[in-house]
Structure 1
Amino acid sequence: MTDLTAQPKQRLFDPFEFLARYGTLIALALLIVFNLIFTRNFASMQTVNVNLTQVCTIVIVAVGMTLVIGTGGIDLSVGSLMAISGALAPMIFLGKILPIGNIYLAVAAAMIIAVLIAGIFGLFNGWLIARFRIQPIVATLVLFIAGRGIAQVMTNGNLQTFRVPEFQFIGLGRILGVPVQVILMAIIVIIAAWVLKRTVFGRQIIAIGGNERAAELSGIAVSKVKLIVYGISGLCAGIAGLIVIAINSSSDANLVGLGMELDAIAAVAVGGTLLSGGKATIIGTLLGAMTIQLVRYTLLSNGVPDAAALVVKAGIIVLAVWIQQQGRHA
């Protein structure tokens, strides 16, 4: 006979679930405290600006990557799309393609066209995946390889140097003392977080990543959503590519965006988004990118070689994924 007076069992505290939810924030807080105590000049505005500007491009690319991974996909092409955007923009505002007399119009055209082209390549990734059901890692590997080749062909493998303040404002400019790229990063993060959390499209992303077949049966246009998220990933990569070349005052198709896909995936994983899809957090990605950047800064500031810092970063990624898996199975 069932005891109707029996109380439901209270769920016991699960440390893995707690760490999966709050681990990144705790790690970031501990790193900040450690540096405040042991790292000289850490609290200075110069240090804050250095860390923020170094993490901006990673965060922007990782925002697009978060949406892609939320659907259960992956985008290996983002670094190459940065190279394409970074190669195309100088060709436009330097008058190599479109002879636009007004520098402001030339810069505006360069930015818009370069970012849109990167977005179109992102749509191409989504089309391969949605139309032909090619695995995302294989589909995006196409542009991972060919995209950088396209950028190199566009520039004949030559370094493009320039001094165009009107363009470089996106990477070097400040508004009320705040770097423009930081403002741009914040805008992208806020919009993406709102879309993912508050809109039907955001819920569709999570539904597809959780169970694509069930999402399709419930009436979600899975192919359309995938096209859009890969297109967004391409747009984010295009913007990041412009920032990188603006900071460097040059565009090198061999180097722009090199390894960025790994940094973006790392930020997403450490931030708490499940790499298998079905759960995604933009704010977590932001915190993940900041944590990885601060780990590297902390190690370098305390005399640890950059090569060792890369090993530590890899270990953090493995630990983050393991904690996620343990929390998921709890």
Structure 2
Amino acid sequence: MMQSTDTPPARSASTVHKWRHLAMQREVIVLLAMVLFNLIFTPHFCSLQPFNVNMTQVVTIVIVGIGMTLVVATGGIDLSVGASMAIAGALAPMLFLNVAGPLGVALAFELPVLAAALCGVFNGLLVTRLSVQPIVATLVLFIAGRGIAQVVTDGSLQAFNTPAFQWIALGKVAGVPFQVLLMLALVGVFVWVDRGRFELRRLRPGRPVRTADPGTRRARRRGRRLARAAQHALRAARARDRRQ
């Protein structure tokens, strides 16, 4: 009676696959370990108030991380995140302080997003058209962006009292901070797009971005328009950064 000799290698391959999958989830493991540590050693950690505080503090990081993920997926890096946020953040109060009525608030929502997206276009053109390394290209705006924001505001803080605009940071929906809901919505949209379930002009945005690294054979074999995908990723990253 013959015995199969395929079982041990199959089990070994399965074990290696499981350990590899576990290693890929190391960030989740570290997060769970931190939560468990705080549950044990931090008083009142699981109460509602600390939870709301922790969530509101992480909103900005998560939203910026969404945009940064798009750029990193193309094989690049973006140093100008904070500078783009500074430009958009300086532009928004100027609009609703100088334009009266709902129009000023509406412009304060739209134009800063457009300005941040244009910063992304600038970075994208440097990377894709002039073949500048992403870390060098974004360093330009990293240095110049904060200076532009200082010039626009004359180096002074802009105090304002506009309830419609402040509600984004201070408002709550059913006891949940609105900015947390905004963060979850943006994460959901990003996952939806990344999984290729959203089609725009017969192009699935998640796929070209994930294969836009010019150094990957897969990207070249599939014939993606790498430059355009990378430029779209940089522009989208800036627009998402503004929404923080």
Q: TM-score, normalised by structure 2?
A: 0.88
Partner of 2:195: helix, strand, or coil? helix
Aligned to 1:206: 210
The 8 Å contact of residues 212 and 222 in structure 1, kept in 2 or not, is answered as: no
Instruction: Map 1:90-129 onto structure 2 (within 5 A).
Output: 90-95=93-98, 99=99, 101-102=100-101, 104-129=102-127
Aligned to 1:169: 167
Aligned to 2:87: 84
Partner of 2:85: helix, strand, or coil? helix
* Whole-angstrom distance in 1 between the partners of 2:218 and 2:48: 50
What CA deviation, in whole Å up to 9, does each residue of 1:101-122 have, x standing for no partner?
Answer: 31x3211111110111011111
Aligned residue type for 2:119: F
Q: CA deviation at 1:31?
A: 1.9
Aligned to 1:60: 63
Aligned residue type for 1:94: L
Of 4, 13, 16 in structure 1, the residue corresponding to residue 15 of structure 2 is 13
Aligned residue type for 2:109: M
* Whole-angstrom distance in 1 between the partners of 2:19 and 2:79: 29
Aligned to 2:201: none
* Whole-angstrom distance in 1 between the partners of 2:174 and 2:143: 41
The 8 Å contact of residues 59 and 185 in structure 1, kept in 2 or not, is answered as: yes
The alignment-based identity, stated in percent, is 46
Instruction: Map 1:113-152 onto structure 2 (within 5 A).
Output: 113-152=111-150
Aligned to 1:231: 235
Q: CA deviation at 1:7?
A: 2.0
* Whole-angstrom distance in 2 between the partners of 1:23 and 1:212: 25
Aligned to 2:156: 158
Q: CA deviation at 1:6?
A: 4.9
What CA deviation, in whole Å up to 9, does each residue of 1:229-273 have, x standing for no partner?
Answer: 001110011112xxxxxxxxxxxxxxxxxxxxxxxxxxxxxxxxx
Q: Structure 2 unaligned segments of length 5 or more: list them.
A: 198-203
* Whole-angstrom distance in 1 between the partners of 2:15 and 2:76: 32
Q: CA deviation at 1:214?
A: 4.5
Partner of 2:46: helix, strand, or coil? coil
* Whole-angstrom distance in 2 between the partners of 1:181 and 1:80: 21
Q: CA deviation at 1:53?
A: 0.3
* Whole-angstrom distance in 1 between the partners of 2:217 and 2:143: 31
Q: CA deviation at 1:217?
A: 4.6
Aligned to 1:31: 34
Aligned residue type for 1:29: L
Change (3 A) 1:20 1:123: farther
For the pair shown, which has the larger CA radius of gyration, 1 or 2?
2
Aligned residue type for 1:47: P
* Whole-angstrom distance in 1 between the partners of 2:46 and 2:109: 35
Aligned to 1:264: none
* Whole-angstrom distance in 1 between the partners of 2:38 and 2:168: 29
Q: Structure 1 unaligned segments of length 5 or more: list them.
A: 241-330
* Whole-angstrom distance in 2 between the partners of 1:174 and 1:154: 32
The 8 Å contact of residues 74 and 211 in structure 2, kept in 1 or not, is answered as: yes
Counterpart check, 1:72 vs 2:75: yes
What CA deviation, in whole Å up to 9, does each residue of 1:37-58 have, x standing for no partner?
Answer: 2111111111000110000000
* Whole-angstrom distance in 1 between the partners of 2:84 and 2:21: 36
What CA deviation, in whole Å up to 9, does each residue of 1:4-42 have, x standing for no partner?
Answer: x65272216348624432222222222222222211111
Partner of 1:75: helix, strand, or coil? coil
Aligned to 1:50: 53
* Whole-angstrom distance in 2 between the partners of 1:210 and 1:44: 48
* Whole-angstrom distance in 1 between the partners of 2:176 and 2:158: 28
* Whole-angstrom distance in 1 between the partners of 2:231 and 2:28: 32
